Amino acid sequence: MSSETISSADYIKHHLTNWTYGQFPDGHWGFAHTGEEAAAMGFNAIHVDTMFWSLSLGFLFIWLFRKAAKTATTGVPGGLQNFVEWIVEFIDTSVRGSFTAKNNLVAPMALTIFVWIFLMNFMDLIPVDVLPRLAAEIGAAVFGADPHHVYFKVVPSTDPNATFGMAIGVYLVVLFYSIKIKGVGGFTAELTMQPFQSKNTAVQLIFIPINFLLEFVSLIAKPISLALRLFGNMYAGEMIFILIAIMFNAGLVMGIFGGFLQLGWAIFHILIITLQAFIFMTLTIVYMEMAHHDH
């Protein structure tokens, strides 16, 4: 996909459009050829590129850590084992510092969240035109598709469907343990008996709907904040890379300047992609801690 053949606005729009498969308004199923067709599919659609990269990176994580576990030795560790042990120790320290209850699920879940999200975020460091252009050439050569109608986003965490999917998954686990540990009555009491309390029964009955409204908003805000924080930061980072890429077609001077900007932003972005994975993991641990203890 080259910005020489289309306008800058179309270039940006193309790079921010997912490869979408779904049901068209007339009832047949297929791949969307434009952003408008993808939008018209509505809920009956799947972002193929998001699913491909998220699942591929998930399997990469499992394969690497399984390989490290199978080849682990008590002697001098190799590079892979040393790297994996460092990550596991880092996650273990984070869990011990934030989670005081006993649950064997929390540490593996935290490890999976951190590494998986980091790998998805790391795709943002690949030059924005490399994989989409390769996909366009393959689509044109194999399927005879118009290269301008081949969409291929490679950063799953810039898709709100992916971030909300992960956040809702964490949310459901937190709800499960909230009810399992506290019981239905205890969980209901947390939603209705705080923050306003009174020894007067009549006044307390008045406080119940107010408490429920406040606590329900707080409960719903957890997955929304998890999803939007990750999506917003990664989407903004991807947008900056795309804007910098446009500069390469604005002349030699702007191209050199864009190269320095891209390098500087990529170095800074390493911190962002790591921090966003860490924040998502840490908030998950905190939410699990809250689920295991009464207020």
Tell me which residues are annotated as active site: 225, 229, 233
DSSP state of 239: H
**Cβ partners under 8 Å of residue 144, min gap 6:** none
Find out whether 3 and 245 touch, Cβ atoms under 8 Å. yes
From CA 242, how far away is CA 215, in angstroms rounded? 40
Return all residues near 238 (Cβ < 8 A) that are at least 6 apart. 15, 16, 124, 128, 155, 158
- Return the exposure string of 211-240: e unless at least 16 CB atoms fall within 10 Å of the residue's CB, then b: beeebeeebeebbeebbbbbbebbbebbeb
Helices in the chain by DSSP H: which ranges? 8-15, 35-41, 48-70, 79-98, 106-122, 130-143, 160-192, 201-246, 252-291
Name the maximum alpha-carbon separation found in the chain. 77
Which tokens hold the place of 61? 């994580």
Cα angle for residues 44, 138, 130 (degrees, 5° grid): 90
